Structure 1
């Protein structure tokens, strides 16, 4: 059946491009917050995200939904774990962005789909098809090449991929909860951590917010909007697009990060580093091809008139 109203699909595509485009440009956003360090940036990001989410709940009359989430003890506990994982992800990402390691961050988000598949095997006991195992093997080879090249494991890339993969797994198992309620609960759990971070930074080097000029203060204050807006775009996109399309769009973010790291920040890219990236891209190409082939095979085997699952 043809889609008689393609507008929602176009809107979904624009929302998806907007979400992943904003996430991909985050390294530049964090650099604009200088001289704030990574722990101050993460601290204000949590605080102002919580404030912005509370305002959104008030404007959209979403406190009823939020109270419903609070009555679900399993959801509350799950979002505490999700909050801890996203804190790790945010912290590592900001450290990478502000210390000349944006390319490593990009690699982490390229590896993320592979990590997600591995988590499915380890945690959910899923069985992989042969080409998926090949993709995982190629990715492992990429990590070995990069480790040999740099003399150590690419810990930033692996930490980002693992934390975000586990975060996605927790959010998947908690069920369908609207994006704003979920982010509000996550940041509420993290608010005490953020306050401690800001107190420690303030007692040490001093806070950049309010003392380093109006522009860094404005950038730090806008961190709540910068966190929530792409999340809202992502939620709007997933409601309008097939997950397969969203899966393709996810590569916009690491492609932009790689372009920023190499083209704007001039981070070094040796032959060994390029080899590692090419191997990761090969693994992703195998995954995408395998997914398309399996989809076509299932569609061909489906009886005429039977809807897709």
Structure 2
């Protein structure tokens, strides 16, 4: 095996590790079902910051992080992206611990298509014929979901929209992935600290209540950061088309967890909705692979 092939293989495993960890998050957060979702997210922010600063310190990138934080033109968009990812985390944790794993998985199935829609509206990107067909089919699935599961539709839409907007803001913000993640986390930290101090003062802090809960809350930082680091490693080497297809590993695992582990059921309308959304995703992924192959052949 050549060195290049070995690096590509390592990147493939890194991507599978990232998406696999994201897909199994419902199992982890169910272990913290007795902790308020806001505290889980606040603890997640603090312990993520410690891990991110350690990684940046090992890379000797802390001066670069300070440079980012001193740049007024970067602070506003990174603050916005931090609030978006914080809202995404809070919605996800609440949904999982409230028994709505399937609805949350739908949000991440929808996310790529919402991202495409934002690209068209905001970035004026052009869509190919099959991409338009894929979005129309998926939109039909969402409409059916709205009619058959109106009470949980907001979860799917909130997750898809918040993460798609997060991706758009990060795309438009000229900062390296790990530095951006570090800056976002630092900007969220004061909010997390204020909430945890308030919670502690009112006797509602779960951290420290018992060893198991405390350990899980500390580990939540790694659960947040490690997949992002693995994803950053994979994104350097793997083609975007391959990464785009592999991202469906996470919501598929979430979906299966909801049905097989947590006993959630699908109504006929939800089943039809998922079928249409998956059909749209298959069309979209097939078109993306074909376009990538044509572009590669054109450059040979």
Superposition TM-score tier, normalisation by shorter sequence:
over 0.9
Q: Within 5 Å, which residues of 2 pair with 1:198-209? A: 198-203=196-201, 206-209=204-207
- Partner SS, residue 4 of structure 2: coil
What are the superposed Cα offsets for residues 99-146 of structure 1, whole Å, 9 maximum, x if unpaired? 101111110000011001000111111222222221111111111111
Unmatched runs of 5 consecutive residues or more in structure 1: none
If the length of structure 1 is used for normalisation, what is the TM-score?
Answer: 0.91
Q: Determine which of 209, 217, 221 is the counterpart of 2:218.
A: 221
Give the corresponding residue for 2:194.
196
What CA distance in whole angstroms lies between the structure 2 residues aligned with 1:96 and 1:222? 20
CA contact (8 A) 1:39 1:201 kept: no
The yes-or-no answer on 1:21 pairing with 2:20 is yes
Aligned mates of 1:297, 1:190 — CA distance in 2? 43
Q: Is the 8 A contact 1:108 1:158 kept in 2?
A: yes
CA shift, 1:219, in A, is: 0.3
Report what 2:144 is aligned to: 145
Contact 2:11 2:237 in 1 (8 A): yes
* TM-score using structure 2 length: 0.94
Q: CA offset at residue 192 of structure 1?
A: 1.9
Evaluate the alpha carbon distance shift between residue 168 and residue 3 of structure 1 in structure 2; reply closer, same or farther with a 3 A threshold.
farther
Aligned alpha-carbon RMSD (Å): 1.9
Q: Number of aligned pairs?
A: 300
1:141-290 equivalences in 2 (<5 Å): 141-152=140-151, 154-179=153-178, 181-203=179-201, 206-211=204-209, 213-290=210-287
Shifted more, 114-123 versus 57-66: the winner is 57-66
Please say if 1:112 is aligned against 2:111.
yes
Contact conserved, 1:22 with 1:230, CA < 8 A, in 2? yes
Deviation at 1:293, TM superposition (A): 3.0
